[in-house]
Amino acid sequence: MRIALLGLILLGVLLLAGCAGYSTPVIPPFGLIYADYKAPMSHEVNGAKVGSKTGIAESKSILGLIAWGDCSINTAAKSGNIQTINHADYEYMNVLCVYQSFKTTVYGE
């Protein structure tokens, strides 16, 4: 009985660990039930211009067990045909730690 309870607790901890598996220089408040926000990848933009082009890359996860996609800055730049990146933002969405998405948006020329 105790082993089964310990196993359930361990499984719960592992599932919730998938909810906090990202890190950027700027992290807005986290919503355990639902979160959907945008923030800059860096707080040091030093007068960067927005740029006329935008590129987006995205990755997704289900239950923190299955994840797919490429949310790298390089992939976002390629998707927007951007040669010079001025700055980057990210968008994070979480629904009950069941479904999560992380989107990188780059701006440049």
* 109 residues of the chain, pLDDT tens digit each: 677 676 667 666 655 555 555 555 666 677 778 988 888 777 666 666 777 899 999 999 999 899 999 999 999 999 999 999 888 899 999 998 899 999 999 999 9
Q: In this structure, how many other beta carbons lie within 10 angstroms of the beta carbon of residue 16?
A: 12
The DSSP letter of residue 28 is P
65/47 Cα distance (integer angstroms): 40
